[in-house]
């Protein structure tokens, strides 16, 4: 039986990866110490997800409760005891708003924790495939310099622009304001590339747009769609920061992302970067999302508008996934915006 390590295994992407790969016949080891509750409070706790995974997959899933990815020696013990075929690294401090509160904590988790895993991977399971969930925030606020057009419900690019179908991997990560979170993810992103390029290891970097799904423990500072749906369903006021709610996100379901990981695992590269997200297939502005959710839940949203935008926030971001599609033509989306929103609403 193939053996896999998933970090952040009770989180959105991690739990989806656990479910996906258990069903593919893998023995899965998971690391998650519920730092999400520390970041965002009790409502964002992933304890429920951890318990669900242990109950549902008790014969195939092994949860390592007490390991923090910043603890090199505890990680070393796990790597010494197991030879992994695949490592999916999703554990992170995920919010650029929260990172400002504790920049050292943010960097220690996102950058140092990633480097710990890479080095132990190199030492103990060098034949494995290492997948890192990066972020579109590595591009900083460069997307905001695009010639955007303000429309009734969203910002948009001219159809003649080279990035109209989405931003590809050619966009520079230099000379932009990243946010503290974005900078720590850049450090990790580049190191994962380097372990592929320099050491010849099989590493893949997936720069995600908005990853979402019903397993998302949405919080005010992270989890756009899940938190918006939670607010509307609970009659809680939702604050839109800047851009009149016309900022555009592309949304990819965590299942579709886990499936992309599987395709990469079967035919890996070395230090390869992929932009991954909903692309033109699945994107939406906050205003458009509010309208769709109101119709499904038959409830009126309580919206508060703030004129100040979040630092480093993207006005418009759609991923161009052409590079990934070219290399993995058999991969397909199973979800679009409507299906994603309907599923989260049903499970809220």
> C-alpha angle with apex 188: 183 to 190, nearest 5 degrees?
95
Per-residue pLDDT of the chain (348 residues; tens, 9 = 90+): 899 999 999 999 999 999 999 999 999 999 999 999 999 999 889 999 999 999 999 999 999 978 999 999 999 999 999 999 999 999 999 998 899 999 999 999 999 999 999 999 999 999 999 999 999 999 999 999 999 999 999 999 999 999 999 999 999 999 999 999 999 999 999 999 999 999 999 999 999 999 999 887 777 767 688 899 999 999 999 999 999 999 999 999 999 999 999 999 999 999 999 999 999 999 999 999 999 999 999 999 999 999 888 877 899 999 999 999 999 999 999 999 999 999 999 987
- Beta-bridged to residue 335, according to DSSP, are none
The dihedral region occupied by 271, where left means phi > 0, alpha psi between -120 and 50, and beta the remainder, is left
Angstrom distances, CA of residue 148 to CA of 111, 157, 205, 261, 270: 32, 5, 28, 32, 35
Distance CA 309, CA 98 (A): 15
Cα–chain center distance at 206: 9
Cα–chain center distance at 279: 15
pTM, rounded to two decimals: 0.96
Task: Tell me if the domain spanning 3-347 has CATH number 3.40.50.2300.
Answer: no
pLDDT digits (tens, 9 = 90+) for 157-202: 999 999 999 999 999 999 999 999 999 999 999 999 999 999 999 9
Distance CA 305, CA 298 (A): 22
Angstrom distances, CA of residue 107 to CA of 52, 66, 95, 115: 30, 20, 12, 11
Residue 58 CB contacts under 8 Å (≥ 6 apart), including other chains: none
Q: What ranges do the domains of the chain cover? A: 3-347
């Amino acid at each position: 039986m193939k053996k896999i390590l998933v970090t952040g295994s009770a989180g959105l992407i991690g739990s989806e990866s656990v479910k996906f790969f258990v069903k593919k016949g893998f023995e899965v080891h998971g690391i998650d110490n519920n730092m999400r509750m520390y970041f965002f409070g009790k409502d964002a706790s992933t304890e429920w997800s951890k318990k669900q995974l242990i109950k549902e997959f008790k014969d195939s899933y092994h949860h390592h409760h007490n390991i923090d990815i910043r603890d090199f020696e505890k990680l070393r013990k796990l790597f010494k005891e197991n030879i992994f075929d695949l490592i999916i690294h999703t554990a992170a401090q995920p919010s650029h708003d929260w990172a400002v509160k504790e920049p050292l904590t943010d960097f220690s988790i996102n950058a140092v924790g990633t480097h710990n895993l890479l080095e132990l991977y190199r030492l103990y399971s060098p034949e494995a495939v290492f997948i890192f969930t990066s972020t579109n925030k590595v591009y900083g606020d460069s997307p905001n310099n695009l010639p955007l057009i303000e429309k009734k419900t969203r910002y948009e690019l001219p159809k003649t622009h080279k990035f109209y179908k989405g931003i590809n991997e050619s966009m520079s990560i230099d000379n932009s304001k990243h946010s503290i979170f974005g900078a720590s993810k850049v450090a990790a992103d580049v190191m994962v590339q380097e372990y592929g390029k320099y050491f010849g290891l099989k590493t893949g970097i997936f720069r995600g747009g908005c990853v979402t799904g019903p397993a998302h423990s949405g919080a005010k500072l992270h989890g756009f769609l899940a938190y918006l749906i939670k607010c509307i369903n609970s009659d809680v006021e939702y604050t839109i920061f800047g851009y009149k709610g016309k900022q555009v996100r592309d949304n990819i379901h965590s299942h579709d992302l886990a499936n992309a990981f599987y395709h990469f695992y079967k035919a890996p590269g070395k230090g390869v970067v992929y932009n991954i997200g909903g692309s033109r297939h699945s994107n939406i502005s906050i205003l458009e999302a509010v309208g769709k959710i109101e119709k499904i839940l038959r409830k009126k949203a309580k919206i508060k508008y703030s004129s100040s935008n979040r630092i480093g926030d993207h006005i418009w971001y759609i991923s161009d996934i052409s590079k990934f599609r070219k290399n993995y033509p058999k991969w397909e989306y199973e979800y679009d915006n409507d299906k994603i929103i309907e599923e989260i609403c049903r499970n809220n």
